[in-house]
């Protein structure tokens, strides 16, 4: 077997595949299924103090879409290229009940050499600080702090946050990191023109890893009803997002340097996608929608493929990280191809 271990700041994971948070991580069975499937880390569905954010789960909606924007059946038979449009909500338990459940799940994770990651999402900063301290006091080894949800403009005021300014990201990160001694992972939004700027701000303020980057919002009109599918805008994700994720990862690696401080998320549906995100600069890779859609077997299948790939290439996961990012050149550095462009336009165009 290949060496799949990877590093994120002070932490070492047995493999780079992180079972990222979504509705399939609400119940205890989902968390334990992700652990049993072999994930290197499991992030529990996020929480905060907002009653409105928890209530939003009761109105959540999800559709799977094919490449013609048609709704298709949800389930393990879904094509890996299936896309998801959804509106979501936070964990339905109170913070105290959520934390107690996480403590029990952490015992199972430790037995499987898996890192359990509690996830807080920003509403009120003072409340977030108190919750972060409670997470550390409960014995957890790391904290995810999500300031990049796509839903802030659509949710009830004060329920969640989408932070797009570097100075604000720095302030939030510095405040949470000062409150705890455990590593903090900052989850950033993709709804910005400069993800690397946000990543640098988070790293410089104390984050040991930054998660690049949260889903985008989209709206899909239904041609029959002439109303929006799911009734409103929603978080939109799928295989198509992988090149965007890899682009941001490569630019973040250039901005932050080659340290083990990037987690790629969005567009990762299988083992080859995990490898591509690693090559783009991620030291670990989050997978959520593919597992929620097709089941926990996606985790094991992806790890098996990654093991075979590393074996075939005679390299470890750590040796994959950033190879494509470091080989990336700007447009100005590319060689002259003369009239190559003429091969890609209709004949009557030339």
pLDDT tens across 308-346, in order? 999 999 999 999 999 999 999 998 999 999 989 999 999
Q: Does the pLDDT of residue 52 top 80, yes or no? A: no
Residues 233 and 247: their CA atoms lie apart, in Å, by 25
Residue 338 gets which letter from DSSP? Answer: T
- Number of residues written out for the chain: 350
Q: pLDDT class for 159, splitting at 50, 70, 90?
A: low
DSSP state of 228: B
pLDDT in tens, 18-51: 999 999 999 999 999 999 999 999 999 999 887 7
Whether 186 contacts 147, CB under 8 Å: yes
What is the rounded distance in angstroms from the CA atom of residue 114 to the CA atom of residue 43?
10
Report, as an integer, the average pLDDT of 165-184.
96
Mean pLDDT of 72-77: 95
- Rounded Cα distance between 72 and 229, Å, is 13
pTM: 0.95
The answer on pLDDT for 163 being more than 90 is no
Return d(Cα 318, Cα 298) in angstroms, integer: 22
Crossing angle of helices 95-111 and 28-36, in 10° steps, is 20
| Per-residue pLDDT tens over the stretch 78-89 | 998 999 999 888
To which residue do tokens 């780079």 refer? 16
Q: How many CA atoms lie within 13 A of 272 on its CB side?
A: 4
Using the CB atoms, write b or e for 81-104: b if 16+ within 10 Å: ebbbbbbbbbbebebeebbebbee
| Separation between Cα atoms, residue 114 and residue 37, nearest integer Å | 10
Domains, the chain, ordered by start:
6-349 (3.20.20.70)
pLDDT (tens digit, 9 = 90+) per residue, 106-152? Answer: 999 999 999 999 999 998 999 999 999 999 999 999 999 999 887 66
Confidence of residue 155 (pLDDT cuts 50, 70, 90): low
CB-hemisphere CA count at 13 Å for 331? Answer: 0
What is the residue whose two structure tokens read 């038979």?
77
- Nearest to 289, CA basis, from 40, 15, 63, 8: 63
Contact between 6 and 72 under an 8 Å Cβ cutoff? The reply is: no
Q: Which two tokens stand for residue 33?
A: 């299924």
Would you say 158 and 53 are in contact if contact means Cβ atoms under 8 Å apart?
no
């Amino acid at each position: 077997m290949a060496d799949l271990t990877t590093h994120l700041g002070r932490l070492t994971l047995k493999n780079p595949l992180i079972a990222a948070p979504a509705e399939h991580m609400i119940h205890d069975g989902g968390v334990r299924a992700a652990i049993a499937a072999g994930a290197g880390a499991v992030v529990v569905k996020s929480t905060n103090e907002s009653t409105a954010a928890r209530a939003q789960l009761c109105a959540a909606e999800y559709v799977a879409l094919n490449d013609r924007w048609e709704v298709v059946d949800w389930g393990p038979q879904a094509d890996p290229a299936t896309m998801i449009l959804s509106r979501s909500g936070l964990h339905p338990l109170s913070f105290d009940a959520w934390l107690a459940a996480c403590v029990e799940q952490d015992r199972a994770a430790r037995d499987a050499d898996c890192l359990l990651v509690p996830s807080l999402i920003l509403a009120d900063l003072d409340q977030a600080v108190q919750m972060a301290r409670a997470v550390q006091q409960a014995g957890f080894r790391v904290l995810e702090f999500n300031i990049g949800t796509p839903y802030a403009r659509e949710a009830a005021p004060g329920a969640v946050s989408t932070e797009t300014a570097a100075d604000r990201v720095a302030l939030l990160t510095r405040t949470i990191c000062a409150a705890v001694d455990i590593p903090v992972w900052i989850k950033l939004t993709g709804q910005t023109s400069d993800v690397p700027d946000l990543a640098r701000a988070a790293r410089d303020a104390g984050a040991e890893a930054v998660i690049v980057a949260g889903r985008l919002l989209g709206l899909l009109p239904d041609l029959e009803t002439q109303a929006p599918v799911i009734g409103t805008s929603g978080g939109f994700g799928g295989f198509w997002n992988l090149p965007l994720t890899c682009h941001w990862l490569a630019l973040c690696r250039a901005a932050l340097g080659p340290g083990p401080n990037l987690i790629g998320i969005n567009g990762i549906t299988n083992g080859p996608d995990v490898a591509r995100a690693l090559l783009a600069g991620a030291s670990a890779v989050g997978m959520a929608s593919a597992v929620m859609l097709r089941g926990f077997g996606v985790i094991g299948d992806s790890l098996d493929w990654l093991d075979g790939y590393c074996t075939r290439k005679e390299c470890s996961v750590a040796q994959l990280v950033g190879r494509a990012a470091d080989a990336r050149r700007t447009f100005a550095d590319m060689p002259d191809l003369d009239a190559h462009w003429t091969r890609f336009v209709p004949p009557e165009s030339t």
